[in-house]
């Protein structure tokens, strides 16, 4: 790890809690529609609508909200009331105003590593949401670069490394998604540290990866021990 | 203009048509709600909801769609039907799938200037929408940098110039918005060319600018004459 000069972090569920906010909102959504359908059926329909809409709307709170509204209309065959849909829009506004809750050990780890390495954030999602979260996190000053992208695959990582003139052997990515943070980074010859979050969104789950190449940690606080 | 090395273009309504797509969708929205209210009242309410929601949702089709849904609920006091709201979501999907229509003279101008200058796109809006439009425009290969930002003020332009090591005197911005493309660029000592689009969104209109510092053109095809 002596060669590493630049450490990049995923943001959602690596630096701060995110997925639980979506889970909490899904709970509120299921409660709102409880009089129409079972919880399981609502979950399944919402997941299917989200998958279909990802192509059109991308990631983030606004796309998720449009998917909730569409699911509510379909599940009730149009019987959903205007004021119930207004509640769904209010869920979105609540989500956007939630304080950014850092994961345990994040703050001290980022501060410490920023003294020895160039730190970067590479995150997927909605530009508006992500910029607001980075600003509110209190960590912005420790990162020399922030890259907000619509997907994270080998080509995207290669482009970022090329743009900042970083050789793969000098680059380490830290994140909670095998699919987005780890596998494409290993594939281009850089290093990656996998720190699972307790909830992993179904869309992000992958199977059959080569466990030998992985560095896995329980929490981000152990990261400095690598160096 | 001999000093100019980098020319940056705004995208929406500078390189391709955008505002007319929002206007057409607003027309469809007014038709949908025609049985509830007058056209003028619907327009005014939608504008007010948009203004209020910009802070929460930012720019782009998804935020606009959430504002249409919210306006529809308010204007009908919740009487709006589920299937009518579904139609509003379908408007969004239609907008996202519209082909990118370049403005007149854009293609030949961009191709020509790319041979003598570094070209950049600096655009506001939703990351997902804007990346998709740049990819579909057929112009991506002519731009060395694409910057998608949440707002365009002096600080944002300064940051971009700093990042790419461009001195203000070497930089020229081309766009259709005095507020976003022209005034902040002139303020940091760079140059700017204003090419009005036939429709300017109310939110972008400004008054009382100093007309003497402006270079204004009827269409982008006249840009190469500057050099």
- For residue range B61-72, list pLDDT tens digits in order: 999 999 999 999
Q: What pLDDT sits at residue B23?
A: 94
Which chain B positions have a beta carbon within 8 Å of A72's beta carbon? 82
- For residue range A136-195, list pLDDT tens digits in order: 999 999 999 899 998 999 999 999 999 889 999 999 999 999 999 999 999 999 999 999
Q: Are residues A53 and A150 in the same domain?
A: no
From A216's Cα to the closest Cα of chain B, the distance in A is 31
| Interface mutation vs chain B, best among A62, A76, A132, A159, most B CBs within 10 Å | A62
CA atoms within 13 A on the CB side of A207: 1
Q: Given pLDDT bands bounded at 50, 70 and 90, which one contains residue A32?
A: very high
Share of chain A above pLDDT 70, in %: 93
Return the minimum-mean-pLDDT range out of A66-75, B103-112, B127-136: B127-136
Among the partner-chain residues A62, A127, A148, the one whose CB lies closest to the CB of B66 is A62
Which of A80, A97, A114 terminates a domain? The answer is A97
Domain ranges, residue B206 = 6-16+102-226
Please state, rounded to an integer, the average pLDDT across all residues of chain B.
91
Q: What pLDDT sits at residue A210?
A: 59
Question: Residue B86: closest CA among chain A residues belongs to which residue?
Answer: A70
In this model, does residue B185 exceed pLDDT 90? Answer: yes
SS3 B159: helix
Q: Tell me if B73 sits within 8 A of B50, measured CB to CB.
A: no
In this model, does residue A206 exceed pLDDT 80? Answer: no
Would residue B1 count as lying in a domain? no
Domain count for chain A, please give it: 2
Q: Tell me if A68 sits within 8 A of A45, measured CB to CB.
A: no
Among the partner-chain residues A62, A76, A127, the one whose CB lies closest to the CB of B150 is A127
Would residue A33 count as lying in a domain? yes
> Is the four-CA dihedral A216, A222, A223, A227 of positive or negative sign?
negative
Which chain A positions have a beta carbon within 8 Å of B59's beta carbon? 128
Q: Are residues A53 and A143 in the same domain?
A: no
| ipTM of model | 0.81
- For residue range A45-62, list pLDDT tens digits in order: 999 999 999 888 887 899
Question: Residue A73: closest CA among chain B residues belongs to which residue?
Answer: B82
Name the more confident of B203 and A39: A39
Q: What pLDDT sits at residue A68?
A: 97
Total-model pTM: 0.83
Which of A43, A74, A97 terminates a domain? The answer is A97
E strand segments, B98-203: 118-124, 145-149, 171-175, 191-194
CA triple A180-A60-B98, angle to 5 deg: 100
Which of A97, A124, A151 terminates a domain? The answer is A97
Q: Are residues A116 and A176 in the same domain?
A: yes
> Is the four-CA dihedral B56, B62, B65, B66 of positive or negative sign?
negative
Q: Do A128 and B58 touch (CB under 8 A)?
A: yes
Would residue A79 count as lying in a domain? yes
Q: Tell me if B33 sits within 8 A of B45, measured CB to CB.
A: no
Q: Do B66 and A66 touch (CB under 8 A)?
A: yes
CA triple B50-B52-B55, angle to 5 deg: 100
Q: What pLDDT sits at residue B59?
A: 80
Size of interface A-B (CB pairs under 8 A): 94
CA atoms within 13 A on the CB side of B197: 26
Q: Tell me if B91 sits within 8 A of B71, measured CB to CB.
A: no
Q: What pLDDT sits at residue A199?
A: 61
From B69's Cα to the closest Cα of chain A, the distance in A is 8
- Tokens for A163, please give them: 């743009």
Q: Are residues B38 and B113 in the same domain?
A: no
Q: Do A82 and B83 touch (CB under 8 A)?
A: no
State mean pLDDT over A93-119.
95
B88 dihedral zone (left: phi>0; alpha: psi -120 to 50; beta)? alpha
E strand segments, chain B: 6-9, 118-124, 145-149, 171-175, 191-194, 215-216
Place of tokens 């982008």: B220
**DSSP one-letter code for B43:** H
Would residue A132 count as lying in a domain? yes
């Amino acid at each position: 790890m002596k060669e590493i000069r630049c450490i990049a972090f995923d943001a959602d569920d690596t630096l701060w809690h995110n997925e639980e906010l979506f889970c909490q909102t899904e709970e509120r959504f299921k409660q709102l529609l409880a009089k129409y359908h079972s919880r399981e059926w609502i979950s399944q329909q919402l997941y299917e609508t989200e998958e279909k809409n990802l192509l059109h709307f991308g990631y983030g709170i606004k796309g998720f909200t449009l998917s909730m509204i569409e699911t509510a209309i379909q599940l009730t065959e149009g019987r959903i009331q205007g004021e119930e849909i207004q509640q769904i829009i209010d869920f979105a506004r609540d989500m956007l105003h939630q304080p950014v809750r850092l994961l345990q050990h994040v703050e001290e780890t980022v501060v410490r590593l920023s003294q020895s390495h160039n730190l970067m954030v590479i995150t997927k999602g909605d530009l508006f949401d992500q910029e607001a979260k980075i600003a509110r996190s209190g960590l912005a000053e420790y990162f020399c670069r922030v890259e907000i992208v619509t997907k994270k695959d080998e080509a995207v990582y290669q482009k970022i490394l090329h743009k900042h003139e970083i050789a793969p052997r000098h680059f380490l990515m830290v994140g909670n998604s095998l699919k987005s943070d780890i596998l494409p980074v290993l594939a281009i010859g850089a290093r990656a540290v996998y720190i699972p979050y307790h909830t992993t969104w179904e869309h992000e789950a992958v199977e059959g990866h080569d466990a030998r190449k992985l560095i896995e940690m329980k929490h981000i606080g152990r990261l400095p021990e690598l160096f």
